[in-house]
């Protein structure tokens, strides 16, 4: 049974400057879009980035197979462009199948970790 929506928006986005002293990928500050495709059809997903002072960038394209989740780090996006660090952004995620999207950030700029998470906004 497919659950979710085909258009999602995340109004918040911010990746601190890469911390090269942190060698453990688990603890590098990151922004993540957690995607879930519960359905039985593979989904083609397109992600577009929005900024405060320039035109949108994208789409970034990837496949989300049937009955799979993908925790996509914005830090890892490279094609067509890496996500600029220390820059406010937002994102829109479009899929040809219903999916569910949750937004999470881990901030390790200081020794203590900080976390945030929220459901993304499901468009019509």
Contacts to its own copies by CB under 8 A: 1, 3-4, 7, 9-14, 26-27, 32, 34-36, 38, 50-53, 55-56, 67-71, 86, 88-90, 92, 100-107, 109-124
CA angle 71, 68, 101 (to 5 degrees): 50
As a whole number of Å, the CA-based R_g of the chain is 15
Q: How far is the CB of 86 from its own copies (least distance, A)?
A: 8
Question: CB-wise, 20 or 110, nearer to its own copies?
Answer: 110
**Closer residue to its own copies in complex, CB, 13/78:** 13
How far is the C-alpha of 37 from the C-alpha of 58, rounded, in Å? 22
- Rounded to a whole number of angstroms, the minimum distance from the CB of residue 24 to its own copies is 10
Per the CB < 8 A criterion, the answer to whether 86 and 97 are in contact is: no
Instruction: Please answer whether residues 29 and 106 qualify as being in contact, where contact means their C-beta atoms are separated by less than 8 angstroms.
Output: yes
**3-class DSSP assignment, residue 104:** strand
Choice between 61 and 88, CB closer to its own copies:
88
Shortest CB 104 distance to its own copies, Å: 5
Q: How far is the CB of 93 from its own copies (least distance, A)?
A: 10
CA angle at residue 32 from 96 to 47, to 5 degrees? 35
């Amino acid at each position: 049974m497919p659950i979710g929506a085909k258009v999602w928006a995340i109004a918040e986005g911010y990746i601190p400057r890469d911390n090269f002293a942190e060698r453990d990928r688990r603890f590098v500050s990151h922004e993540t879009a957690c995607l879930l495709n519960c359905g039985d059809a593979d989904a083609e997903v397109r992600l577009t980035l929005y900024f405060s002072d320039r035109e949108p960038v994208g789409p970034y394209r990837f496949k989300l197979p049937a009955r799979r989740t993908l925790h996509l780090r914005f830090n890892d996006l490279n094609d067509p462009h890496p996500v600029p660090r220390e820059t406010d952004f937002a994102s829109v995620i479009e899929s040809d199948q219903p999916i569910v999207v949750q937004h999470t950030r881990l901030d390790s700029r200081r020794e203590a970790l900080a976390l945030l998470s929220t459901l993304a906004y499901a468009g019509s």
